[in-house]
Amino acid sequence: MYSKEEKLSLLSEMVEFAKVDKELKEQEYNFILAVAAQLQITKEEIDALVEKEAKKKSLQPESQRILQFHRLILLMNVDQETSQVEIHKIKEIGLHMGLRTEAIDTVLEKMHDYPNKVIPPKELITIFTRFYN
């Protein structure tokens, strides 16, 4: 699935995104640790990423980029506070991933329709499918 370098790259991206508002909150850190555990990355490795980001790796195929975008949406909403800085940064990251602007904007709009802004994976796939077909 993912190489070790890819795992560290996407977790590093999550850490850097969590710090975009100048603070890595406990809820964000714990969420990143939970994702890291699923990817078999240790807490010590995450702590190292907090200090120094990993080299960026481009994710292929597109489904992996959409999954990472979903993780970032969940991370953004884990503390129930969404700043304009976070919205701007997540759009920037999504565009850098090669995701369509319309899909990104729709996800950011639709997330408000769900409890805790947790957009279900099936809805996320539906949105991206609509804009890519």
Question: What's residue 133's pLDDT?
Answer: 59
Radius of gyration of the chain (CA): 14
Burial 17-33 (b: 16+ CB within 10 A, else e): bbebbeeeeeebbebbb
Model confidence over 12-30: pLDDT tens digits?
A: 999 999 999 888 999 999 9
- pLDDT of amino acid 86: 94
- Give residue-wise pLDDT tens across range 122-133: 999 999 999 875
User: What digits encode the pLDDT tens for the residues 53-76?
Assistant: 888 888 778 889 999 999 999 999
